[in-house]
Amino acid sequence: MKIITLEELQEKFTLVLNTISEKENLINLELKEIDNYLNYTAPPRRHKMDFHIEPKTDAIFILAVDLNRRKLLKRAFNGFNVYGKFDLIDNNAKSQGMINLDDKVIQQASELAKYFKWLKELDFKPSLAQDKSSLNIEQKLLALHFLGLNFEDYTNSHMAIVLGQILNVGSQNIRGNLSNMYGGKNSLRKIENFEKLTELFENKTFESILNKIKKEIKQLK
């Protein structure tokens, strides 16, 4: 059984979230689908040889927990969700293989509980005073770079997930741009990008940054 981590769940959900306008509806739907997944039970079999396939759902997350272990998943999920921990005390007389499988289910429950909490804390209610940024993703990353953020201190995948939340942009898009920024040829270094940043930093407070950007433009011409 493969454990799907919080980061994987977040990344998949964020990719979908960034493509739609009704973000709160999607969040509420995903929370409902988690509840449905935890409480799903297969209908009784008419014949011993009947093979049950779970119906298709609208869930974005996909887990690999068998139906016969769904009760343990739910118990562990509730434990992590309410108390922050879960201890399984009925492992007596079980084989080592079964114990290992139980441990994986519990680990998956922990990741799912973190995902559930993360979804509930997402807030996409429109702000009356919200100003839309005119910067594209390349320009935003360059602006952060000039402000002193060193992207090389962390792996691209981890940095992309965090920046995806901060900038409200898909993490895959960010990861690709980070690779370009620190690759052999920095494809983000374009005159149009730097000219946009001169407008952003056109202030005495950012004079040193502005001088660096103007130097970049001069080198590209």
pLDDT tens per residue across span 146-196? 888 777 767 777 888 888 888 877 777 777 777 777 666 677 788 888 888
For residues 151 and 174, the answer to whether their CB atoms sit within 8 Å is no
Range picked from 44-58, 65-79, 193-207 for highest mean pLDDT: 65-79
pLDDT tens, position by position, 1-27: 899 999 999 999 999 998 888 899 999
Q: How far apart are CA 7 and CA 121, in angstroms?
A: 16
Check pLDDT > 50 for residue 31.
yes
H-state helical runs in the chain:
6-17, 23-39, 70-83, 96-121, 137-146, 156-167, 171-181, 191-200, 207-220
Residue that is written with structure tokens 């981890």 in the block = 158
CA distance 25 to 183: 39
Kindly give, in sequence order, each residue whose CB lies less than 8 Å from that of residue 115, ignoring residues fewer than 6 positions away: 6, 9, 10, 13, 34, 61
Contacts of 140 (CB under 8 A, 6+ apart): 133, 167, 169
